[in-house]
Amino acid sequence: MPYMPISTGSTVPGHLSRLYRPLISTLARAYADMRQRRRDRLTRRILEGLDDRTLHDIGISRDEIASLTATQGSGRRLRYDHMFSPAGGVR
């Protein structure tokens, strides 16, 4: 049976590596989704902690907070997103 190297440098039979790829891909997507939900919760907490005048100054009403955090993943970037990047400081 031929052996096929995988990214870790170890060898796994070819048929097993074909099984691992979808599993690893699924786990990576789940982890990315978990991080996105964490960012959404943090965004909501930050916005909910602001007073009404500050929210008005930045053009957001308190009623919009839930919808803004629910649609954050569609390309919006927030100032503190660098905190969650691999090169960022706080995680």
Q: What is the DSSP letter of 83?
A: G
pLDDT (tens, 9 = 90+) of the chain, 91 residues, equals 555 555 555 565 666 677 788 888 999 999 999 998 898 899 899 999 999 999 999 888 898 888 888 755 555 555 555 555 555 444 4
Q: What is the sign of the dihedral through the CA atoms of 62, 43, 78 and 50?
A: positive
CB distance 84 to 91 below 8 Å: yes
For residue 59, give both structure tokens.
Answer: 């053009």
